[in-house]
A and B are shown apart, each in its own frame.
Chain A
Amino acid sequence: MSGSEPVATRALPRLAERSAPLLEVEGLRTHFQLGHETVHAVDGVSFRLERGEALGIAGESGCGKTTTALSLIGLLPPNARIVEGSIKLYGIDLATRSETALRRYRWREIAIVFQGAMNALNPVRRILDQVAEPMVQRLGTGEREAHEKAGDLLELVGIPRARARAYPHQLSGGMRQRAMIAMALACDPAIVIGDEPTTALDVMIQAQILELLQRLQKQLGLSLILITHDLSVIAETCDRVMIMYAGLVAEEGAVAEVFTRPRHPYTQRLLAAIPNIHAERRTLETIPGSPPDLRYPPPGCRFAPRCPVAMDICRIEVPSEVRFADGVRVACHHYPAGSDGTPVTLPTDAPYGTR
């Protein structure tokens, strides 16, 4: 398979700039139209993805993580629109391209694996045909060769050739997710986005799929964007993490830094709320309140209404992003420009069961 070549020798798209980063998103704003109201789903998001890197994007429902992903591959629903910002793949801005132009890059350069494989796979076609199809349609590969390669891909993701002629309903949830991954790999993309790729799966199957993604990343030199509400999954599989809240980036940086020394109050609370089976203590921290209605985002910091250490300025002024020496960036008034980045201390919850 051509994908096993070193990353540097991958054929780049015609318009690519050689020196440009793989993916650079700047000031992305994607809004939804709901009747007469505008939902500010993604409201100024910037990040980079380097070659061979695994980036995790985390946050709760409605934080804009999935909308960010769909903006990248131009699969937004009809009532959503990129209103500002750029999405540069090898320096080529995808945000301003027409649907026809975008199609050159979708699947060939950026592919996506969705959560529910049953809904994404065609129930009346054999999985082998479904994996072969994008090669025939987008790369112009001959039927026979495409089927041969599809068989290889299915084997690569752990589906034996004997099972390749099965229909989706004949496979287990884990096997279907493997088939989805093979489909995403069909056109040998540079970037694979996983949108909650393991969320509906049992923990043992989840471990199998995550291990597979890591193996493929290394073997094929893939760059990975993993979108999930489950920070634990990111801790174990990604190099960098970007935590989103209410359409904005709260904190972004190397997994090793952010998970061990979280700075943003939201990150701190979110990490404390995860049940951790490997921790010394059993804890169950909460984040009172709920995320804001993105039709009417609050002024100032969007987390301020729920933040235990919010100050007056937090309710008035939107905090700007500050980057520290360890490469972590945070948008929080507790870290003004020039701050040394010492994490702010949060009060802890009372022990539970003592109301």
Chain B
Amino acid sequence: MTDQNGRAQPAIGDEVLRLEGLEVQFPVRGGLRNRLSGRPADVVRAVDGVDLAIRNGEVLALVGESGSGKTTIGRVIVKLTRQTAGRIWLDGNDMTDLSGVRELRAYRRRVQIVFQDPYETLNPRQSIYDFVAEPLVVNRIGGSDADRRLQVLSALDSAGLRPAEEFAARFPHELSGGQRQRVVIAGALVMDPSIIVADEPVSMLDLSIRTELLRLMLDLRAERSLAYLFITHDLSLAWVIADRIAVLYLGKIMEIGPAEAVIRRPRHPYTAALVSVSPSPEPPAKASPVSRTILVGETPDAVHIPPGCRFHTRCPLAFDRCKVEEPPLFDVGDGQLAACWLAEGGRELPVLPASDPAPSSAGA
């Protein structure tokens, strides 16, 4: 099956992972002073009530700026950070509280993570073979040494490191940046996971290497009906690779829906502003200058989340209700939801006021 752009559409199946009411809070330093003075300690509300479901073979992009909580969500899913509240389901089974090493191992087989920086993930003294084989060895799976070897080589081959035999014998310093990230992907693949959490997996890479890697990831999901939670700050990247996009702001989902809908018809002012400032490789046309909405100020810190709609302090369309009452995620149809009072009842988003057009530079 292909979509209108000729892209292969893998069959998207049953739900693989579900988050319900996820909250993560971190105590702030200086809490002692508060405790002595009898005040409650300040907390960072990094994730503040997130519901999310990912299906087999689906790419869900989690997009947000620094401080949005996107990385924390990824870490909770792979159980590197503990949630304060909420539940995690895998294939319909509650995985919120895993007791014991065995359960955790079984879970981690299914849910793998790929980090941004292959330089930090790889051990310079470890051969590529040993790196990829390590999760099998640590988890005491994969059968005999000969069986493991086959699995490692097959993972390297799937990650496009061919001939696999040759790459297996190398060390990280003998590889290019793109090849190193492929090794990291092979290390995730060897466990045969159902879902990979990819946290900014290409943001350190040059453009030409980046697209090769993204293609690899998309090819793999088509072959194995892998699901990806693709965490990124780059909305353009999300648009190119994702089936669905979730836009986060200050620990909460502002908008979620099919990529096409979220980008082409955003229903949340924050999404609309992000789309408008996402740079494109086309020079602004003289006749129709792009209208950009550059939000004023910066994201407030997650200790002092504004009351009402948390985005209202920067929203160009905010009105009185936004300051006092937090909007729920309104269903605007076709699987698109937006947490904005303006989206209530499925209404279209009014046009955002444009920032002063950037002065055309002299000589242009």
The residues of A with any CB-CB pair to B shorter than 8 Å are: 50, 52-54, 60-61, 172-174, 202-208, 210-211, 214-215, 217-218, 221, 224, 229-233, 235-239, 255-256, 259-260, 269-271, 273-279, 281-288, 290, 351-355
The answer on a CB contact under 8 Å between A204 and B215 is: no
Assembled-state Cα–Cα distance A172/B212 (Å): 34
CB within 8 Å for A232 and B280 given contacts A204-B65, A352-B215: yes
Assembled-state Cα–Cα distance A54/B360 (Å): 11
The answer on a CB contact under 8 Å between A273 and B361 is: no
Find A60's partner among B208, B234, B279 (CB 8 Å cutoff).
B208
Contacts of A61 in B (CB 8 A): 206
The answer on a CB contact under 8 Å between A203 and B277 is: yes
- Minimum Cβ distance to chain B for residue A84 (Å): 28
Find A284's partner among B178, B214, B295, B298 (CB 8 Å cutoff).
B214
Interface centre among A217, A230, A277 (most CB of B within 10 A): A277
Assembled-state Cα–Cα distance A256/B209 (Å): 26
6 contacting pairs across A/B (C-beta < 8 A)? A173-B66, A211-B294, A231-B281, A259-B281, A276-B281, A353-B219
Find B208's partner among A172, A276, A287, A352 (CB 8 Å cutoff).
A287
Cβ of B233 within 8 Å of any chain A Cβ, yes or no, is: yes
The answer on a CB contact under 8 Å between A352 and B275 is: no
CB within 8 Å for A273 and B210 given contacts A235-B283, A282-B7, A284-B241: yes
14 more contacts with CB within 8 A, not counting A60-B206, A230-B279, A269-B208, are A202-B299, A203-B235, A207-B294, A211-B355, A215-B358, A239-B364, A259-B281, A260-B283, A273-B208, A276-B236, A284-B240, A290-B208, A353-B8, A355-B223
The answer on a CB contact under 8 Å between A276 and B207 is: no
The answer on a CB contact under 8 Å between A235 and B273 is: no
Q: Which residue of B lies closest to A306 (CB)?
A: B208
Q: Which residue of A lies closest to B204 (CB)?
A: A61
The residues of B with any CB-CB pair to A shorter than 8 Å are: 2, 5-10, 65-66, 176, 178, 206-212, 214-215, 218-219, 221-223, 233-237, 239-241, 263, 273-275, 277-284, 290, 292, 294-295, 298-299, 355, 358-359, 361-364
- Minimum Cβ distance to chain B for residue A209 (Å): 10
CB within 8 Å for A278 and B280 given contacts A214-B358, A290-B178: yes
- Minimum Cβ distance to chain A for residue B210 (Å): 7
Find B361's partner among A218, A274, A281, A286 (CB 8 Å cutoff).
A218
The answer on a CB contact under 8 Å between B208 and A204 is: no
The answer on a CB contact under 8 Å between B363 and A275 is: no
Contacts of A353 in B (CB 8 A): 7-10, 215, 218-219, 221-222
- Minimum Cβ distance to chain B for residue A71 (Å): 22
Assembled-state Cα–Cα distance A207/B11 (Å): 38
Contacts of B275 in A (CB 8 A): 277
Q: Which residue of A lies closest to B176 (CB)?
A: A290
The answer on a CB contact under 8 Å between B8 and A351 is: yes
Assembled-state Cα–Cα distance A233/B294 (Å): 15
Q: Which residue of A lies closest to B284 (CB)?
A: A236
The answer on a CB contact under 8 Å between B298 and A53 is: no
Contacts of B66 in A (CB 8 A): 173, 202
Q: Which residue of B lies closest to A259 (CB)?
A: B283
The answer on a CB contact under 8 Å between A256 and B280 is: no
The answer on a CB contact under 8 Å between A275 and B364 is: no
The answer on a CB contact under 8 Å between A282 and B279 is: no
Assembled-state Cα–Cα distance A224/B7 (Å): 41
Contacts of A276 in B (CB 8 A): 236, 280-282
Contacts of A271 in B (CB 8 A): 281
Interface centre among B7, B223, B275, B362 (most CB of A within 10 A): B362
The answer on a CB contact under 8 Å between B294 and A208 is: yes
The answer on a CB contact under 8 Å between A274 and B207 is: yes
Q: Which residue of B lies closest to A349 (CB)?
A: B215
Q: Which residue of B lies closest to A270 (CB)?
A: B207
Find A275's partner among B176, B218, B223, B236 (CB 8 Å cutoff).
B236
Find A215's partner among B65, B207, B359 (CB 8 Å cutoff).
B359
- Minimum Cβ distance to chain B for residue A277 (Å): 4
Contacts of A211 in B (CB 8 A): 294, 355, 358
Assembled-state Cα–Cα distance A195/B289 (Å): 26
Contacts of B278 in A (CB 8 A): 203, 277-278
Q: Which residue of A lies closest to B237 (CB)?
A: A275
Q: 4 closest Cβ contacts across the A-B interface?
A: A232-B279, A287-B208, A52-B362, A353-B8
- Minimum Cβ distance to chain A for residue B4 (Å): 9
Contacts of A210 in B (CB 8 A): 358
The answer on a CB contact under 8 Å between A54 and B361 is: yes
Assembled-state Cα–Cα distance A239/B237 (Å): 26
Find A232's partner among B65, B218, B281 (CB 8 Å cutoff).
B281
Assembled-state Cα–Cα distance A303/B278 (Å): 30
- Minimum Cβ distance to chain A for residue B295 (Å): 5
The answer on a CB contact under 8 Å between A274 and B363 is: no
- Minimum Cβ distance to chain A for residue B148 (Å): 25
Contacts of B206 in A (CB 8 A): 60-61, 229
Contacts of A236 in B (CB 8 A): 279-280, 283-284, 358
The answer on a CB contact under 8 Å between B234 and A203 is: yes
Interface centre among B7, B65, B207, B273 (most CB of A within 10 A): B207
Contacts of A218 in B (CB 8 A): 359, 361-362
The answer on a CB contact under 8 Å between B233 and A203 is: yes
- Minimum Cβ distance to chain B for residue A345 (Å): 19
Assembled-state Cα–Cα distance A348/B208 (Å): 14
Contacts of A285 in B (CB 8 A): 211
CB within 8 Å for A260 and B282 given contacts A277-B239, A352-B7, A353-B218: yes
The answer on a CB contact under 8 Å between B282 and A235 is: yes
